[in-house]
């Protein structure tokens, strides 16, 4: 037995042993705490590598897509490095934020950026090898998205980066509200399929805005955040469905959905019928968007920001508001597809089937070879073989050797076939192309713009870039000079006889009519233009000269080179469709040229207007001359070469226009207008040597005018558009406006005529 005091002595000795460790423990603990505090202080102040400032947090370096909108508010397309557009918190549906919180960060509204409980859970999982989810909060994930990690970091760098993300998360929580953090996160995450941010994702997967997402759609998108490719509903629909239902289970677990609602939502199959990858080459107005893109690149160079730096359409999130009407654009594209792609193209293939040297006509073998070889040298195959050092002989042999390839068709899309690359070039040369543009006469706003038939396969723009001979569509300008400078009016009688020009370089030129319509007779100008008589155009050109016509069309917006030769009276000059439509628009616009415009305003990412566009205008001709020419051109539609607009297409409202066909039917044209809409159409092959062999098939009245007719039918019969569709609907001012100063009759003549001009249909 111990004596009294022995136990106390032993306990005292033990306490002494423990007490000697207390001080070192607290020293080590204090040093560790101080070290951790120091590390976080150094990180926070940027002494251990880059740390975003408050300004960086306010304006994170996020690439924002520039958005292009139609006049009626529809998103036409985007220009981007990352397909990202911002959305505000009030545009996020509750089911989306509920799904995100239930799945990614259930204590989102309770922590200050770092969830300590989640970190302990992760640490315990690592020690026990029983992982139950990650520990990153939504705020931490936002920090990671705003300031991405490098892909080749060491473990030490990864640890340091993780600590930095904690600091950034704490700063974010201090500077932003929870709702703002939630919104920033959903605007920065990647959903795969070229969709960054919730707005792009909802448009890509469901063709709707985020605010319109239903519960199962929100759950699917939130589920994809874990691994966009693995849980893609397009690539892995089964895994995507399972992941979506897991998110729904989480929503039920945390009381965001009732059990019955969760069961109902889980039973809904995934619907990808509205899925569409947002691309520069998809959607409507593809040629228009590409033209606008090129224009904006130049605009950015000449319109710097307030700080002197340049705008970047791929990063700065500009909002481009255009003049295009989305519904009218669809009508225009449908008209082109219906006539050119579904009707004319099969006819063209049948027309040339079994013919030598198709689709080229009346050119030598040497000229054909030149065309084909020139096209060959622009192909990827040629460039690749050339880069590998192949000789011209080896390349030509390869191009004349059959191989498997995909070829484009209108009715079946891309199909697999076997042919030589050279035959494929000839085949692609056999496609007809089309350009079309429609604008409002008074505003100059371009409402529809079709640069070609298929942007994926034929990217050349036939509105702004392509210059082709215009044929008889140039004749109204010659007649206008007569209306303006002489005692001429639609009823003026002129001789329909040959006219000879003595050329400065020697020799003579005597144009001929294409037929024998009333040759040798005196005809009213209106009837002469209606039947596109070359004799009369030459007669007027002889009276007033080429220079007077060129001077006129310069005032009407034409900038292309126009030779000062008599043959321009028959359209022997090359113009763009854009120039043609802008110039012809002067007539329904009472002689005022208004520059066709494509953009109304440009706004920055915050919605502030940074540029407003006002079309340029000038008085090209006087009102009375314009009105006389309108009445002339109405004859083309009422009883001339455009008569099928009335007889076949039943367009009963006021119309005027002009058909045009160039030599060998290489180009078919129609330009026309109503009191409220001006439109021009061109149809032809890429090479002028490729065309229909007969004028009955290749004339502008057969190739181009039906596109105009179908478009006007669709537009004027669309109740959602502000146009009148039938003659019975004509109201006050609906017909072409008669100038107040005009004292002649309604036919545009200077004095009333006793005898009506008799229609003479072909």
How wide is the angle at C-alpha 160 spanned by C-alphas 135 and 131, nearest 5°?
25
More confident residue, 146 or 552: 552
CA distance 522 to 536: 10
pLDDT at 241 over 60: yes
**Is 107 a residue whose pLDDT tops 60?**
yes
Contacts of 554 (CB under 8 A, 6+ apart): none
Q: Please state the length of the chain.
A: 762
Residue with tokens 């006049």: 71
Residue 10 has pLDDT above 60, yes or no: no
For residues 675-683, give the mean pLDDT. Answer: 97
Mutual orientation of helices 178-188 and 155-175 as an angle, nearest 10°?
A: 130
120 has pLDDT over 60:
no
Mean pLDDT, the chain, whole residue set: 87
Lowest mean pLDDT among 162-176, 517-531, 655-669, 680-694: 162-176
- Percent of the chain exceeding pLDDT 70 equals 83
Looking at residues 285-308, what average pLDDT do you find? 94
Q: What pLDDT is stored for residue 9 in this prediction?
A: 53
Q: 480 near 629, Cβ under 8 Å?
A: yes
Reply yes or no on whether the pLDDT at 29 is more than 60: no
pLDDT in tens, 450-472: 999 999 899 999 999 999 999 99
Q: Which residues contact 637 (CB under 8 A, 6 or more apart)?
A: 643, 645, 646, 655, 656, 657, 672
pLDDT at 6: 52
As a whole number of angstroms, the distance between CA 584 and CA 556 comes to 8
- The three-point CA angle 35-37-43 to 5° equals 100
pLDDT at 612: 97
Q: Is 158 a residue whose pLDDT tops 70?
A: no
279-305 average pLDDT score: 92
Residue-level pLDDT at 760: 38
Higher pLDDT, 192 or 712: 712
- The 10s digit of each residue's pLDDT in 568-590 is 999 999 999 999 999 999 999 99
Q: Tokens 């370089």 correspond to what residue?
A: 505
Write out the DSSP string of 209-270. Answer: -GGG--HHHHHHHHHHTT-TTTT-TTT-HHHHHHHHHHHHHHHHHTTSS-HHHHHHHHTSPP
Lowest mean pLDDT among 35-44, 256-265, 314-323, 520-529: 35-44
Per-residue pLDDT at 438: 98
pLDDT at 727: 42
Average pLDDT over residues 167-191: 84
Residue 622 neighbours by CB under 8 Å, 6+ apart: 484, 591
Strands (E), 529-598: 574-575, 592-594
Alpha-helical segments (H) within 254-325? 259-266, 286-302
Query: Which pLDDT does position 277 carry in this prediction?
Result: 78
Q: Is the pLDDT of residue 732 over 50?
A: no
Instruction: Flag the least confident range among 152-156, 171-175, 252-256, 614-618.
Output: 152-156
pLDDT at position 276: 83
User: Residues 478-503: what's their mean pLDDT?
Assistant: 93
Q: What is the DSSP letter of 196?
A: B
Residues 6+ apart with CB under 8 A from 497: 519, 520, 535, 539
Average pLDDT on 361-373 reads: 93
Radius of gyration of the chain (CA): 36
Q: Which residues pair with 51 in a beta bridge?
A: none
The answer to whether 437 and 447 have CB atoms below 8 angstroms apart is no
| Residue 292's pLDDT band (cuts 50, 70, 90) | very high
> What's residue 358's pLDDT?
93
- Give the list of residues 6+ apart from residue 683 with CB closer than 8 angstroms, or none: 340, 344, 432, 433, 434, 667, 668, 669, 700, 703, 704, 707
> Cα 499–500–506 angle (5° rounding)?
165
Cα-flanking dihedrals φ and ψ of residue 645, to 5°?
-60, -35
Contacts of 167 (CB under 8 A, 6+ apart): 40, 43, 44, 51
pLDDT of residue 759 exceeding 70, the answer is no
In 10 A of CB 679, how many CB atoms? 26
Q: Using CA atoms in the order 397, 399, 401, 406, what is the torsion angle rounded to 10 degrees?
A: 160
Q: Which residues have a Cβ under 8 Å from the Cβ of 278 and sit 6 or more positions away?
A: 77, 78, 83, 194, 195, 200, 203, 204
- Over 70: is that where the pLDDT of 25 sits? no
Q: Calculate mean pLDDT across residues 698-711.
A: 97
d(CA 712, CA 693): 29
- Confidence class of residue 59 from pLDDT cuts 50, 70 and 90? low
Average the pLDDT over each of 55-64, 485-494, 513-522, 555-564 and give the range with the smallest value: 55-64
φ/ψ region of 650 (left if φ > 0, alpha if ψ in -120 to 50, else beta) reads left
pTM score, two decimals? 0.83
pLDDT of residue 19: 67
Distance in angstroms (rounded) separating the CA atoms of residues 664 and 689: 8
Could you tell me if 113 and 125 are in contact, meaning their C-beta atoms sit under 8 angstroms apart? no
d(CA 220, CA 229): 13
Identify the band that residue 115 occupies on the pLDDT scale cut at 50, 70 and 90: low
Cβ distance 257 to 245 under 8 Å? Answer: no
Per-residue confidence at 36, pLDDT binned at 50, 70, 90? low
Q: What is the pLDDT of residue 730?
A: 43
pLDDT score at 172: 78
Question: Within a 10 A sphere around the Cβ of 386, how many other Cβ atoms?
Answer: 13
């Amino acid at each position: 037995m111990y004596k009294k005091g022995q136990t106390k002595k032993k306990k005292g000795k033990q306490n002494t042993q423990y007490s000697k460790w207390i001080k070192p423990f607290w020293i080590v603990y204090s040093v560790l705490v101080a070290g951790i505090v120091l590390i976080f202080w150094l990180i926070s102040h940027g002494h251990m590598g880059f740390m975003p400032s408050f300004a960086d947090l306010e304006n994170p370096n996020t690439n924002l897509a520039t958005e292009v909108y139609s006049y009626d508010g529809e998103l036409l397309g985007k220009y981007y490095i990352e397909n990202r557009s911002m959305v505000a918190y009030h545009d996020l549906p509750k089911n989306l934020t509920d799904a995100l919180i239930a799945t990614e960060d259930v204590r989102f509204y309770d922590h200050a950026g770092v969830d300590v409980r989640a970190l302990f859970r992760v640490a315990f999982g690592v020690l026990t090898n029983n992982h139950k989810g990650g520990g990153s909060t939504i705020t931490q994930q936002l920090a990671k998205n705003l300031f991405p990690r490098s892909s080749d970091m060491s473990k030490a760098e990864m640890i340091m980066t993780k600590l930095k993300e904690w600091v950034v998360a704490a700063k974010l929580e201090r500077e932003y509200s929870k709702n703002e953090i939630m919104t920033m996160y959903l605007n920065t995450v990647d959903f795969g399929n070229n969709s960054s941010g919730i707005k792009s994702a909802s448009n890509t997967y469901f063709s709707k805005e985020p605010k319109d997402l239903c519960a199962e759609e929100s759950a699917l998108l939130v589920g994809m955040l874990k691994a966009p490719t693995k849980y893609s509903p397009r690539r892995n629909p089964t895994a995507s469905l399972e992941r979506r239902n897991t998110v729904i289970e989480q929503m039920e677990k945390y009381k965001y959905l009732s059990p019955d609602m969760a069961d109902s939502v889980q039973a809904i199959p995934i619907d990808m019928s509205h899925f569409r990858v947002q691309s520069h080459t998809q959607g409507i107005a593809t040629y228009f968007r590409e033209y606008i893109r090129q224009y904006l690149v130049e605009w950015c160079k000449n319109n710097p920001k307030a700080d002197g730096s340049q705008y970047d359409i791929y990063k700065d999130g500009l909002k481009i508001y255009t003049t295009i009407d989305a519904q009218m654009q669809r009508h225009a594209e449908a008209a082109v597809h219906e006539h050119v792609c579904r009707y004319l193209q099969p006819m063209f293939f049948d027309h040339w089937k079994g013919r030598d040297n198709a689709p080229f006509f009346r050119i030598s073998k040497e000229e054909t070879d030149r065309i084909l070889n020139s096209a060959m040298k622009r192909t990827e195959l040629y460039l690749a073989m050339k880069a590998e050092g192949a000789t011209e002989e080896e390349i030509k042999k390869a191009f004349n050797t059959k191989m498997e390839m995909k070829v484009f068709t209108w009715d079946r899309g891309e199909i697999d076939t076997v042919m030589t690359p050279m035959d494929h070039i000839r085949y692609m040369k056999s496609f007809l192309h089309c350009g079309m543009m429609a604008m409002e006469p008074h505003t100059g706003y371009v409402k529809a713009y079709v640069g070609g038939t298929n942007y994926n396969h034929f990217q050349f723009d036939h509105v702004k870039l392509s210059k082709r001979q215009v044929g008889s569509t140039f004749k109204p300008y010659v007649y206008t000079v007569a209306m303006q400078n002489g005692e001429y009016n639609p009823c003026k009688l002129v001789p329909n006889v040959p006219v000879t020009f003595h050329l400065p370089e020697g020799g003579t030129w005597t144009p001929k009519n294409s037929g024998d319509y009333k040759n040798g007779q005196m005809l009213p100008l209106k009837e002469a233009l209606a039947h596109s008589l070359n004799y009369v155009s030459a007669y007027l050109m002889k009276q007033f000269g080429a220079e007077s016509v060129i001077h006129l069309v310069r005032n009407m917006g034409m900038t292309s080179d126009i030779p000062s030769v008599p043959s321009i009276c028959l359209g022997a000059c090359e113009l763009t469709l854009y120039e043609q439509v802008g110039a012809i628009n002067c007539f329904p616009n009472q002689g005022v040229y208004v520059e066709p415009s494509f953009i109304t305003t440009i706004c920055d990412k915050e919605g502030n207007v940074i540029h407003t566009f006002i079309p340029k205008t000038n008085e090209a001709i006087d009102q009375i001359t314009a009105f006389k020419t309108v009445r002339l051109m109405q004859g083309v539609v009422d009883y001339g070469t455009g008569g099928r607009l009335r007889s076949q297409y039943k367009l009963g409202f006021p119309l005027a226009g002009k058909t045009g066909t160039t030599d060998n039917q290489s180009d078919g044209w129609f330009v026309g207008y109503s009191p409220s809409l001006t439109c021009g159409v061109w149809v032809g092959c890429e090479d002028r040597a490729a065309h229909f062999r007969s004028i009955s098939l290749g004339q502008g009245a057969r190739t181009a005018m039906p596109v105009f007719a179908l478009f006007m039918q669709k537009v004027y019969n669309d109740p959602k558009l502000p146009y009148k569709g039938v003659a019975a609907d004509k109201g006050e001012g609906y017909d072409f406006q008669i100038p107040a100063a005009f004292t002649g009759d309604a036919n545009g003549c200077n004095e009333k005529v006793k005898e009506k001009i008799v229609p003479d249909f072909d």
